[in-house]
């Protein structure tokens, strides 16, 4: 039998070495203050947790502190819907990298209200609309699904973060109206936006975030319970979308530098997976000009080089 990479690599030593190395380097970028509540987060937080296929955690720094996972949650809302509805969802949202910022409206007109992919804001908003059509209590379904993936009941929406974002959510309000004008929203706009902002408000620690994504490294099955969260062929497709569309208009750069499927959020988190091996979450709130965690990207770039982790 081929040994697991975790049997050959001392993840804890590598994580610790890179963590200290990056702490010595200047940290640059800004926190996402367009969501007023996120603007108050300590920009120097830095946490890491890798979970391997034996559910062993390797962690350092602020790994056990909750942060706002923001767009990272869009992967989980997609999985819930895709697992339930299958391929028909692709009639309403595409799977192409956008090459534009996460909140951009420019392509929606030419694409007639079909968002380029489920991870940019317009795409995640359409996914929320489909969740509302599909489930009687979409908020509870979403929370319970994410709890199952994380194998923890300690996962909550943060209503005050959602309200803070809503107070300044003009681009998302513009997006949903634009998409609606093409007929690609079927429920009340306020109801869809409420679900979208709640989705983005979920908080996790790095341990929980790495745990939550481990099923995507495990052919769609929860590593703790054996529960199928998404069928294998669909887990493969979600990973492909993470690889091509997970980092806004920097998706190519992340694939080039890190080489793994992943998803970032403007809270400064990044989660990335290596199928059959591990899931890793990094949190560092200072964002680069594309909205991705500056230190998080650097860490993962050096981590995959140091461990020869190849997708």
Interacting residues with ligand GLU (CB under 6 A): 70-71, 102-103, 121, 165, 172, 200, 265-266
Q: How far is the CB of 121 from ligand GLU (least distance, A)?
A: 5
Nearer to ligand GLU, 5 or 143 (CB): 143
- Of 234, 224, 287, which Cα lies nearest the Cα of 70? 287
Nearer to ligand GLU, 149 or 193 (CB): 193
Nearer to ligand GLU, 52 or 165 (CB): 165
Characterise 26 by phi-psi region: left (phi > 0), alpha (psi -120 to 50), beta (else).
beta
Nearer to ligand GLU, 18 or 200 (CB): 200
- Of 109, 34, 46, which Cα lies nearest the Cα of 269? 46
Alpha-carbon distance values, 178 to 17, 91, 168, 187 (Å): 48, 18, 18, 14
Residue position matching structure tokens 């996914």: 127
Report the distance separating Cα 118 and Cα 289, nearest Å.
22
- Of 308, 207, 304, 202, which Cα lies nearest the Cα of 262? 304
Report the distance separating Cα 34 and Cα 110, nearest Å.
27
Report the distance separating Cα 309 and Cα 304, nearest Å.
5
Q: How far is the CB of 141 from ligand GLU (least distance, A)?
A: 20
Nearer to ligand GLU, 81 or 270 (CB): 270
Q: How far is the CB of 107 from ligand GLU (least distance, A)?
A: 16
Q: How far is the CB of 196 from ligand GLU (least distance, A)?
A: 7
Q: How far is the CB of 70 from ligand GLU (least distance, A)?
A: 3
Nearer to ligand GLU, 125 or 222 (CB): 125
Q: How far is the CB of 241 from ligand GLU (least distance, A)?
A: 15
Report the distance separating Cα 306 and Cα 66, nearest Å.
27
Q: How far is the CB of 68 from ligand GLU (least distance, A)?
A: 8
Alpha helices in 218-293 (DSSP H): 232-245, 251-257
SS3 58: strand
Nearer to ligand GLU, 59 or 104 (CB): 104
């Amino acid at each position: 039998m081929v040994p697991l990479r975790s049997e050959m690599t001392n993840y804890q030593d590598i994580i610790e070495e890179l963590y200290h190395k990056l702490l010595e380097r200047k940290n640059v970028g800004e926190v996402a203050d367009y969501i007023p509540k996120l603007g108050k987060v300590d920009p120097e937080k830095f946490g890491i947790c890798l979970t391997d296929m034996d559910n062993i955690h390797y962690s350092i720094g602020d790994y056990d502190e909750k942060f706002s996972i923001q767009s990272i949650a869009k992967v989980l809302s997609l999985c819930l819907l895709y697992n339930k509805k299958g391929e028909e969802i692709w009639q309403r949202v595409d799977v192409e990298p956008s090459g534009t910022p996460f909140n951009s409206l420019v392509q929606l007109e030419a694409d007639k209200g079909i968002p380029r992919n489920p991870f940019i804001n317009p795409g995640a908003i359409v996914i929320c609309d489909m969740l509302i059509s599909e489930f009687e209590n979409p908020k509870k379904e979403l929370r319970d699904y994410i709890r199952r993936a994380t194998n923890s009941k300690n996962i909550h929406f943060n209503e005050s973060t959602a309200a803070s974002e809503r107070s300044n959510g003009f681009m998302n309000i513009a997006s949903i109206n634009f998409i609606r004008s093409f007929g690609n929203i079927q429920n009340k706009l306020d109801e869809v936006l409420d679900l979208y902002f709640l989705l983005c408000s979920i908080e996790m620690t790095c341990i929980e975030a790495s745990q939550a994504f481990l099923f995507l490294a495990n052919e769609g099955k929860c590593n703790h319970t054996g529960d199928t969260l998404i069928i294998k062929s669909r887990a493969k497709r979600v990973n492909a979308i993470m690889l091509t569309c997970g980092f806004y208009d920097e998706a190519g750069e992340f694939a080039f530098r890190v080489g793994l499927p992943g998803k970032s959020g403007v809270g400064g988190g990044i989660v990335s997976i290596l199928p059959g091996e591990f899931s890793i979450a990094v949190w560092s709130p200072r964002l680069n000009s594309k909205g991705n965690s500056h230190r998080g990207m650097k860490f993962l770039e050096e981590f995959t080089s140091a461990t020869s982790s190849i997708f």
